[in-house]
Amino acid sequence: MRILLIEDEPVLAEQVADGLRDRGIAVDVAADGLDGLHKAGANRYDVVVLDRDLPRVHGDQVCTVLAAGGSDARILMLTAAGEAADRVAGLTLGADDYLPKPFVFDELVLRIRALARRANNAPRVLRRAGLQFDTARRIVTRDGRVIPLTTKELAVLEIMMGADGAVVSAEDLLERAWDEHADPFTATVRVTMARLRRKLGEPQLIETVVGAGYRL
């Protein structure tokens, strides 16, 4: 999962981004509304976490543009304006969810994951080839055996299982499971895939499709 966090308070933005990355969520950060619109137009995101009181372009306008532009990303407004009228206004602008500050971080994570499932029409529990992935609890089992995975391995496996047997390219995995700082010329995806294959065990479940990518 990859999200865009548009937040002009640098300390809060860093804390939220670091916390989400620790949960296996790839995060790009924009410090103002204009930068946020540029990044949203250039990259594919599952969720946009949006402050309202932003410099350069106000968060309300960002929300309106994203909602009207046909973006597949779900919008979560995360803002200090927490009165009922503020929530109604934000949802009317096109936001999919609204969480007032201050907030409980675990609740933010759960709301982001729920929105991402809606964006991808994905069920909470993914099942394929003897694997079961509870995306809310982040638990993977194979034929009933729990498989401990790193946050990045979980992110890659979630994309692979969500593809429902279709081939997923290395470029797509890099775009969706890593953030904008990932180097596209490294062997990051290949190394992560090798570790994931080893942990999933035999018989092998992930096929390499030469020249195209990977298939579960």
Mean pLDDT, rounded, for 37-65: 94
pLDDT at 164 over 80: yes
CATH code given to domain 125-215 = 1.10.10.10
Q: How confident is the model at residue 173 (pLDDT cuts 50, 70, 90)?
A: very high
Better-scored residue on pLDDT, 21 or 70: 21
pLDDT at 184 over 80: no
Instruction: Give CA–CA dist 79/72, Å, rounded.
Output: 22
Q: Does domain 2-119 have CATH number 3.40.50.2300?
A: yes
- Please list, in sequence order, all residues whose beta carbon lies within 8 angstroms of the beta carbon of residue 24, skipping any fewer than 6 positions away: 1, 138, 150, 151, 152, 154, 155
pTM greater than the 0.85 cutoff: no
**Across 2-16, 79-93, 171-185, which has the greatest mean pLDDT?**
2-16
pLDDT digits (tens, 9 = 90+) for 28-50: 999 999 999 999 999 999 999 99
pLDDT at 141 over 90: yes
Q: Which residue has the tokens 């409980």?
A: 104
Of 21-25, 62-66, 111-115, 179-183, give the lowest mean pLDDT range: 179-183
Mean pLDDT, rounded, for 146-153: 94
The domain spans of the chain are 2-119, 125-215
Biggest alpha carbon distance in the chain?
Answer: 56
Better-scored residue on pLDDT, 10 or 87: 10
3-class SS of residue 143: coil
Q: How confident is the model at residue 182 (pLDDT cuts 50, 70, 90)?
A: confident
What is the per-residue pLDDT for 167? 96
